[in-house]
Chain A
Amino acid sequence: MSEEQPMTHYRVQRWSVPAYVANGGFALLVLALVFVPSVFGTFLTQQLTSLLILVILAAMWNALAGFGGLVSVGQQAYIGLGAYGTIYLTQHGVAPYPAMILAALAAGVIALPTSLLLLRLRGGQFAIGAWVVAEVFALLVALDQSLGGGTGISLAALNVYSPDRRQAYTYWLALGCAAVLLAVGYLMLRTRLGASLQAIRDDEEAAAAVGIRVMSAKRILYIFAAIGCGAAGSLTLANTLFIQTQAVFDVQWSAYMIFMVLVGGLGTLEGPIVGAVVFFLIQNKFADYGAWYLVGLGATAIVFALFLPRGLWGTMEMRFDIRLLPVGYYLRRRKRAS
């Protein structure tokens, strides 16, 4: 009779106490943020709207690059389409706020045929290919005189609301979009699809070899990011009331997204939110420095990419072993039970 082998028992665990607290905290935070327009003035409401837009953008870019391995410098394509889609729909009799949501969804629809083309590319080729697509959209929009050509156009349909009202509505829509998009992203990454995407990010051939449908997984992610960026575009339009093709399709947006995600933490859900807040504060403080400010952004992105690739949040996570918005699992060793 052989002696009974000592067995190590493991359990697979996703949730932890801090994670429960954080999820509850996030829900409460969203709830509390609903009351901002009634408590604070229009100025602060507008500021927070821009912050929420940044959060959406960072989360979308992070979903693509951090979870799907798709580094894009062309997401401004969908920011522009969201903004100009809103203009187009309001010109054709749709009320402005529904038009914003429809325009975001339309960006997702346009992303489907685009993805057929772009997702054949990988790595740097995908990055610049996406950029070319953004340029094409910008040129096409600039050709259409009814959309203001290259000179820009304002969202006249919002003038029916008083400025206070308008800002409050825009803010609530931004809050709603941010909450829904982040929640959908969070839940999506916890499913089988999320695990597939991370496998593709880490090694596309290996992922395909174990039976993951690489193309369809990437496509779903790409369309999701397009909808999110479209929403950010239409919200930007409603927040500033005026857009210009050059500005809204500017590759600068990609620079901002990359900065936020790298500083916050690529591949974590919390990181982009941290990055957006950091970027928002930096922007308010240093934007007056003009070109040097952008030099600083570029240099900071390089420093983070090379020396702190996990970003601020990712480094914290490592250090203190916390996952507030868990998408992975812990494998915990358990003392021998039987």
Chain B
Amino acid sequence: MVWANAVLQGVLLGGLYALLACGLALMFGVMRIINLAHGDIAILGAYLIWVAVDHTSMSPFLAALLVLPIMLGLGYLLQIVLLERSLRAGPLVPLLTTFGLAIAIQNILLQVFSPDVQSLGGSAGDITTVSWQINDQVSIPGLGILILAIAVTVLGGLHLFLSHTRLGREMRATAQDPDTAQLVGINARDVYARATAIAVATAALAGLFLAIRSVFDPSSGPTQLIFAFEAVVIGGFSLWGTLLGGIVLGVAQAIGAQIDPNYSLLAGHLVFLAVLASPRGGLLVSRRVQA
């Protein structure tokens, strides 16, 4: 039964990874950019929410409602100011600029907030303590269910947005061929900026739940980026795939941790490398924004 419990916790953890990963997958799908600052943006979002909670002692969920529009705006600006220019400069430049951005964000957070570990778990209310005890070894945490539900909702929302709205159609068209999309009157620049804005906001949402579920500090970002990337690759670079990828990664980590706490991260990485090594591993790349 301990194993059943490990799998269950892993599945629920997968919800968080899917939430982290969907923004990364969206940006890769639309612009072919891998944003190396994605994890640090999630942590930045967590810190902004933490500041709001710290100053007003409001609920972190309410604070997130304030912070998410800010993050949407920051994402839009990030594209217009930085990424647009780097996209034009060639395929390697977005990697270099987003890596530079990651280093800058990490160290600004370090300078402003000190290296102390923070958490939003204490101020999130009852949700962190609710759980359903199935038997003495298996229990379902309410927070895990909530995160998984939010992840499914976000993915479903993105799916509906991409397949049924005008903006979504424009985004898919731009992803397939930006030049042709512009010929038929789509403002690719705007579409790209919207995609980045959505990706940054989902990262901040993932940051919120990471901060409620456990702890974070200014150097947490890179690990989150790696988890998000692993989920994207395991899931095959599609939006819904990130849910599958996140769950596979979460289960691998939970089972690894059940064997020995030292093996948790290692188990996740090894599953990722196994997927890479599989015959289809290198072929999972797709340019389309798959819904």
| Residues of chain A whose beta carbon lies under 8 Å from any beta carbon of chain B | 65, 69, 71, 73, 116-118, 120-125, 127-129, 131-133, 135-136, 139-140, 142-143, 251, 254-255, 258, 262, 290-292, 294-295, 297-302, 305-306, 309
Nearest CB on B from A102, distance (A): 26
Instruction: Say whether chain B's binding surface is mostly helix, strand, loop, or mixed.
Output: helix
Please tell me if the beta carbons of A297 and B273 are within 8 angstroms of each other in the complex: no
Q: Which of A116, A131, A143, A251 has the most CB of B within 10 A?
A: A251
Which residues of the other chain, B, contact A309 by a CB distance below 8 angstroms? Answer: 89-90, 93
Nearest CB of A to B35, in Å:
8
Considering the chains assembled together, what is the distance between the CA atoms of A63 and B10 in angstroms?
41
Partner pick for A136 among B93, B103, B270, CB 8 A cutoff: B270
Complex Cα distance, B36 from A258, in Å, reads: 13
Check B99–A258 contact: CB distance below 8 A.
Answer: yes
**B33 at interface by CB-CB < 8 Å:** yes
What B residues does A133 contact at CB under 8 A? 273
Contacts of A131 on B, CB cut-off 8 Å?
A: 222, 226
Number of A-B contacts (CB under 8 A): 131
Distance A258 CA – B103 CA, assembled complex (angstroms):
11
CB atoms of A124 and B82 under 8 A apart: no
Whether, in the assembled complex, B120 has its beta carbon less than 8 Å from a beta carbon of chain A, the answer is no
**Bound: A117/B269 CA distance, A:** 13
Shortest Cβ distance from B281 into A: residue: A120
B96 pairs with A301, CB closer than 8 A: yes
Name the A residues within 8 Å of B32 (CB-CB).
123
Q: B110 an interface residue at 8 Å Cβ cutoff?
A: yes
1/0 per residue, CB under 8 A from A, across B264-286: the answer is 01100110110011000110010
Known: A128-B229, A255-B99, A305-B93. 9 other contacts (CB 8 A): A117-B273, A123-B91, A124-B33, A125-B34, A125-B229, A133-B273, A135-B226, A136-B270, A306-B85
B8-33 contacts to A, CB under 8 A, are 28, 32-33
Question: Within 8 Å of chain A (Cβ to Cβ): is B225?
Answer: yes
The answer to whether the Cβ of B133 comes within 8 Å of any Cβ in the partner chain is no
Q: Can you spell out 22 A-B residue pairs with CB atoms less than 8 angstroms apart?
A: A69-B91, A117-B277, A118-B276, A124-B34, A124-B95, A127-B99, A132-B229, A132-B273, A136-B269, A139-B269, A255-B103, A258-B96, A291-B107, A291-B108, A295-B104, A295-B111, A298-B104, A301-B100, A301-B103, A302-B104, A306-B89, A309-B93
A306 / chain B contacts, CB cutoff of 8 Å: 82, 85-86, 89, 93, 97
A136 with B107, Cβ < 8 A, contacts A124-B34, A305-B97 known:
no
- Cβ of B170 under 8 Å from chain A: no
Interface residues of B in 106-144 (CB under 8 A from A): 106-108, 110-111
Please tell me if the beta carbons of B95 and A292 are within 8 angstroms of each other in the complex: no
- Among residues of A, the one whose C-beta sits closest to the C-beta of B283 is A120
